[in-house]
Amino acid sequence: MSWELGVLIYRMLFGKYPFSRECSTKDMLDVFKNILFSEVIFKNENFNVRISEVCVNLISGLLVKDFTKRVSINDNIFDDWLEM
């Protein structure tokens, strides 16, 4: 569930998916390739928004591709973010 939460938070902040680089969402093979090989970019060209380092760390930890290294919701990952 942590992967999905990372995608959801990213989408709420940036208005797009973290892996939707220059591909047609109609071609699922492109989508899967972007999920596997794209780096997450914390920048939105449509508006000037500053994302805190704590938030970037949270999303980055949730979107680690290797599920064995991905942070878990049970790891108190929200402590720093919610204290802001």
Mean pLDDT of the chain: 78
Q: Is 3.40.1000.10 the CATH number for 2-83?
A: no
Q: pTM for the whole thing?
A: 0.75
Alpha carbon separation from 65 to 6, 28, 82 (Å, rounded):
11, 18, 24
pLDDT of residue 29: 81
Inter-residue contact 54 to 80 (CB < 8 Å): yes
- For residue 83, pLDDT over 80 is answered with no
End-to-end CA distance of the chain: 24
**Which helix (H) or strand (E) segment is 53 a member of?**
helix 53-62
- For residue 33, pLDDT over 60 is answered with yes
Alpha carbon separation from 11 to 15, 19, 28, 53 (Å, rounded):
5, 10, 19, 17
